[in-house]
Amino acid sequence: MPIIRVEMFPGRTVDQKRDLVRELTDGFVRACGGAGDRLHVVITEVEREDWGVGGELMSDK
Protein backbone atom coordinates (compact mmCIF):
# COMPACT_ATOMS: atom_id res chain seq x y z
CA MET A 1 0.00 0.00 0.00
CA PRO A 2 2.04 2.99 -1.20
CA ILE A 3 1.26 6.34 0.40
CA ILE A 4 1.96 9.78 -1.05
CA ARG A 5 1.82 12.58 1.52
CA VAL A 6 1.34 16.17 0.42
CA GLU A 7 1.74 19.12 2.79
CA MET A 8 0.62 22.49 1.48
CA PHE A 9 -0.92 25.77 2.47
CA PRO A 10 -4.71 25.93 2.61
CA GLY A 11 -6.65 27.57 -0.16
CA ARG A 12 -7.15 24.95 -2.85
CA THR A 13 -10.64 23.95 -3.86
CA VAL A 14 -11.98 20.42 -3.62
CA ASP A 15 -11.78 20.20 -7.42
CA GLN A 16 -8.09 21.17 -7.33
CA LYS A 17 -7.40 18.55 -4.67
CA ARG A 18 -9.33 15.95 -6.68
CA ASP A 19 -7.20 16.77 -9.74
CA LEU A 20 -4.01 16.59 -7.67
CA VAL A 21 -4.92 13.16 -6.30
CA ARG A 22 -5.72 11.90 -9.80
CA GLU A 23 -2.49 13.29 -11.29
CA LEU A 24 -0.31 11.92 -8.47
CA THR A 25 -1.95 8.50 -8.75
CA ASP A 26 -1.58 8.38 -12.54
CA GLY A 27 2.05 9.51 -12.35
CA PHE A 28 2.92 6.98 -9.68
CA VAL A 29 1.37 4.13 -11.64
CA ARG A 30 3.20 5.22 -14.83
CA ALA A 31 6.55 5.46 -13.04
CA CYS A 32 6.33 2.56 -10.61
CA GLY A 33 3.57 0.30 -11.83
CA GLY A 34 1.01 -1.31 -9.61
CA ALA A 35 -2.67 -0.69 -9.15
CA GLY A 36 -3.84 2.87 -8.69
CA ASP A 37 -6.69 1.76 -6.47
CA ARG A 38 -4.13 0.62 -3.87
CA LEU A 39 -2.33 3.97 -3.69
CA HIS A 40 -3.23 6.34 -0.87
CA VAL A 41 -2.78 10.11 -1.15
CA VAL A 42 -2.96 12.11 2.08
CA ILE A 43 -3.26 15.90 1.87
CA THR A 44 -2.40 17.89 4.98
CA GLU A 45 -3.07 21.61 4.98
CA VAL A 46 -0.64 23.57 7.11
CA GLU A 47 -1.28 27.18 8.08
CA ARG A 48 1.38 29.67 7.06
CA GLU A 49 2.13 30.48 10.70
CA ASP A 50 2.96 26.79 11.26
CA TRP A 51 5.51 26.57 8.40
CA GLY A 52 9.02 27.97 8.54
CA VAL A 53 11.63 28.44 5.82
CA GLY A 54 15.07 29.93 6.26
CA GLY A 55 14.48 30.80 9.91
CA GLU A 56 11.25 32.69 9.21
CA LEU A 57 7.60 31.82 9.42
CA MET A 58 5.90 31.89 6.06
CA SER A 59 3.23 34.13 7.58
CA ASP A 60 5.96 36.78 8.12
CA LYS A 61 7.08 36.76 4.49
Catalytic choice (1, 2, 53, 61): 2
The model scores a pTM over 0.85: yes
Mean pLDDT of the chain: 97
pLDDT of residue 50: 98
CB 45 within 8 A of CB 6: no
Residue 45 above 90 pLDDT? yes
1 — pLDDT class (breaks 50, 70, 90)? confident
Tell me the fold of 3-60: Macrophage Migration Inhibitory Factor (3.30.429)
CB atoms within 10 A of CB 51: 14
The pLDDT of 34-49, averaged and rounded, is 97
pLDDT of residue 38: 95
Indicate if 2 belongs to the active site.
Answer: yes
